Every structure is written in C-alpha cells, then in structure tokens.
C-alpha cells in the first residue's frame, strides 16, 4: 500500500459520528448468514436493475457484521469532508483498538483476528451491478467493484490502513450518499435485526410517515439462501427479539391478507406507505 499523509488525524472512535452508505441499505449486497457463504447473491428487480455478489470459497461473501467495520471508514471519510479536507484520502488509518471500540467490540486477541478476517472478506467480495448512479450525469451504469481495495496491519505500530474502493469513496465524498446511525446500532446482535434497521433508516428516516413491506418483497431483497417459510419465521423472531431503537417494527396484514412488515418512527401516528 502506498504511503499516505494524514493532515486530519483520526479522532477517538467514540467521538466519530456514525455514517452509513444509503445506496446499500435495502438491496442484497451482504450475506445475512452466520456460516461462510460461497453461493453467489443474485438479484434483479422489475426495472431490470441487477446485482451479482461473489467471493472465493476461501473467504466467503462479506457479512452485514463485517460491514460494521466499513462504517468506520465511511464515517472517517465523512469527517474529512466535514472538516473541509480538500482531498480526502481513500486510505483510512486508525489503530485496531479505535476500530474495534467504534463498533462496540472487545479488544482481545480474537477480536483482532476477527477484524482481519472481516477485512479479507470485504476485500475479496466482488459486486457486479448496473445500479451505480452517477448523480452528476443522472443515469446509471454497470460496474464491478469490491468494498475495499487493500488493507494492511502494522502490528508493531498497532496501526491499520484500509483503502476503500473508489465507489465507496465516491458515494461518501462526491455524492454525499450517507445517513447517520445512532451508536446503539452496534448493539443490535442479529444479522436480520441489523438488516431490518438499515431498511428502516433508509425508507423511514426521520419522517413521521411510515413504510410497510410485503414479506415476499423482503425475502427477495434479502438475498437469503433460506426458503421463504424459514425466512419469514426468522424475520418474525427478529422483530420479536430486537430493539429497533427509534423505530416501531411490527407484523401487519395487508389489504389482501398478505403478511407485511410495517416500519415507523415511534410515537408517530402518520399514514404508512405500502411498498410491494
């Protein structure tokens, strides 16, 4: 990895505002399963937008838990923009301790091993899609990317350097496609809980009006390898067990009796938009 100067030193992770990439929040680009996933994620919507996510068998596809570490990079890039850094670097440098504490992890030897394994998955996961929006030209284009291009750990200096992909850099620095997450987000333990919260954050945001998804739509957007019945059962369990923080997430029946998941800011009494 090339040498990089850091004119804007990385602050204490606990003081860093947590940012996430809006474009990735409700489409299947991450594995939601605990075991290593080597089966590709394939998704296509009614508008012809398609996604193919792959990874070598040795590593498996990056998981939604791995994504937490990438939020550190997204958050630090966003900080550089907010601090008026004219040339934010794609290389984010921080101690392993800072990164682990940022995402609410411990700092044992195993936690450092898990961090490095997650960075490997983020590096070796490939995403080929035509969903990439160029806001300046107002059209989408096909592209093949990874989450990060390179990473290294200097164990003597206790320093990690993570080079995010050009696409992630563009999303944060050029297109400003970021949303703020509460620090309690990292306390959500289950993959489905994290996934559902990110959908809430994107589609409900801070608006009083809510959103409701057909269970079959969520199934398609999850990219899961489970059968529909098993997925629906797991979603029901996640809703029962998860604190979705500022959102109220419930199972409801649609106009035709179909099972749906409603999402709304707590204490809001506004209407709910149905998203099939």
Boundary (domain end) residue, out of 128, 149, 183: 183
- Look at residue 98 and give its three-state secondary structure: helix
Shared domain check, 202 and 153? no
- Tens-place pLDDT, residues 17-43: 999 999 999 999 999 998 999 999 999
Paired tokens of 199: 């959908």
The answer, yes or no, to whether residue 137 has pLDDT greater than 80, is no
pLDDT of residue 8: 41
Q: How many other CB atoms sit within 10 Å of the CB of residue 251?
A: 14
Same domain, 92 and 217: no
Contact 223, 191 (CB under 8 A): no
**Is the same domain home to 114 and 178?**
yes
Domain-embedded: residue 226: yes
Q: Please, are residues 226 and 218 in contact by the beta-carbon 8 Å criterion?
A: no
Residue 103 included in any domain = yes
- 167 and 200, same structural domain? no
**Final residue of a domain: which of 165, 183, 201?**
183
Residues 241 and 170 grouped into a single domain: no
Number of domains in the chain: 2
Choosing from 183, 210, 234, the residue where a domain stops is 183
Ranking 93-102, 126-135, 236-245 by mean pLDDT, the lowest is 126-135
Domain that holds residue 215: 188-275
Cα separation, 102 vs 79, in Å, equals 14
Query: Average pLDDT of 76-101?
Result: 95
In a domain, 110, yes or no: yes
Q: Are residues 204 and 165 in the same domain?
A: no
Pairing of strands 50-54, 126-134: antiparallel
Residue 204 and residue 99 share a domain: no
Residue 192 lies in a domain: yes
Q: What are the pLDDT digits (tens) for 41-65?
A: 999 988 888 999 999 999 999 999 9
Residues 117 and 199 in one domain: no
Asked if residue 13 has pLDDT above 60, the reply is no
Within 10 angstroms of residue 180's Cβ, the number of other Cβ atoms is 13
Instruction: Say what the pLDDT of residue 270 is.
Output: 59
Encode pLDDT of 239-259 as tens digits.
999 999 999 999 999 988 999
Does 8 fall in a domain?
no
The more confident residue out of 272 and 98 is 98
* Residue 20 maps to a domain: yes
Same domain, 137 and 91: yes
Tens of pLDDT, residues 152-205: 999 888 899 999 999 999 999 999 999 999 999 999 999 999 999 999 999 998
217 and 101, same domain (yes or no): no
């Amino acid at each position: 990895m090339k040498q990089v100067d850091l004119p804007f030193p990385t602050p204490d992770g606990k003081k860093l505002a947590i940012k996430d990439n809006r474009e990735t929040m409700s489409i299947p680009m991450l594995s939601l399963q605990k075991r290593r996933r080597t089966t590709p994620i394939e998704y296509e919507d009614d508008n012809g937008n398609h996604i193919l996510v792959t990874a070598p068998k040795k590593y498996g596809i990056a998981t939604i838990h791995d994504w937490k570490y990438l939020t550190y990079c997204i958050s630090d890039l966003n900080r550089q923009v907010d601090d008026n850094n004219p040339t934010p670097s794609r290389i984010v440098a921080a101690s392993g301790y800072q990164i682990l504490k940022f995402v609410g992890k411990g700092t044992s030897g195993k936690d450092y091993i898990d961090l490095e394994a997650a960075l490997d998955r983020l590096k070796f996961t490939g995403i080929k899609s035509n969903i990439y929006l160029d806001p300046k030209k107002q059209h989408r284009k096909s592209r093949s990317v990874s989450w990060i291009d390179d990473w290294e750990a200097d164990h003597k200096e206790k320093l990690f350097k993570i080079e995010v992909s050009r696409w992630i850099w563009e999303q944060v620095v050029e297109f400003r496609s970021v949303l703020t997450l509460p620090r309690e987000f990292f306390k959500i333990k289950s993959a489905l809980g994290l996934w559902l919260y990110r959908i809430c954050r994107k589609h409900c945001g801070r608006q009083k009006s809510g959103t409701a998804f057909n269970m079959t739509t969520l199934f398609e957007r999850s990219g899961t390898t489970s059968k529909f019945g098993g997925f629906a059962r797991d979603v029901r369990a996640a809703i029962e067990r998860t604190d979705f923080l500022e959102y109220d997430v419930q199972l409801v029946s649609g106009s035709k009796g179909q099972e749906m998941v409603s999402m709304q800011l707590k204490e809001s009494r506004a209407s709910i938009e149905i998203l099939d």
